[in-house]
């Protein structure tokens, strides 16, 4: 009976260690990720906007991740600072589901993210790049 209690105590301890270590890792990950809040409109040729923007962007360290739940649009991605375009790329609709952009060459500062498509839709958001220039 004592052996059974020791085994149960050991299992409970391991369970709590795993739970708490998972919470710590999740907390650290959440601190490094920052969502870009968009303004603008994105209707993809529909007559009325549903209010749901099918695109999200997240900064995680030196990586900008852009996700689109709708692959109807080619997306032109621009990153600018003080009105000067520092990065521009066209992402085809077939590749627009998940796009990653390396921000390692940019200094720690505030930038504007602009997204446009072939219908003239336009989303824009301001984001902070933290850390030092890696170049």
pLDDT tens digits along 83-103: 999 999 999 988 989 999 999
Supply the range of the domain harboring residue 73.
Answer: 34-129
> pLDDT tens digit string along 10-41?
665 555 444 545 544 444 444 568 889 888 88
Number of domains within the chain: 1
Predicted confidence at residue 21, as pLDDT, reads 52
Predicted confidence at residue 10, as pLDDT, reads 61
Between the CA of residue 35 and those of 7, 27, 41, 58, 72, what are the distances in Å?
A: 44, 15, 18, 4, 23
Q: Tell me, what CATH number does 86's domain have?
A: 2.60.40.3080
61 within some domain: yes
Kindly tell me if the per-residue pLDDT of 61 is higher than 70: yes
94 within some domain: yes
78 within some domain: yes
Round to the nearest angstrom and report the end-to-end CA distance of the chain. Answer: 64
63 within some domain: yes
CA distance 69 to 34: 19
Kindly tell me if the per-residue pLDDT of 6 is higher than 50: yes
Predicted confidence at residue 7, as pLDDT, reads 66
120 within some domain: yes
70 within some domain: yes
* Residues with Cβ within 8 Å of residue 52, at least 6 apart in sequence: none
């Amino acid at each position: 009976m004592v052996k059974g209690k020791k085994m149960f105590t050991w299992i409970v301890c391991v369970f709590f260690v795993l739970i708490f270590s998972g919470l710590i890792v999740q907390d650290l990950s959440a601190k490094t990720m920052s969502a870009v809040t968009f303004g603008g409109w994105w209707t993809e040729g529909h007559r009325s906007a549903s209010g749901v923007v099918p695109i999200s962007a997240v900064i995680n360290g030196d990586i900008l991740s852009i996700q689109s739940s709708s692959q109807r649009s080619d997306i032109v991605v621009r990153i600018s600072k003080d009105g000067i375009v520092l990065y521009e790329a066209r992402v085809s609709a077939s590749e627009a589901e998940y796009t990653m952009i390396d921000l390692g060459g940019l200094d720690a500062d505030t930038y504007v993210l602009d997204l446009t498509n072939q219908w003239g839709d336009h989303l824009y958001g301001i984001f902070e790049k933290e850390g030092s220039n890696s170049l």
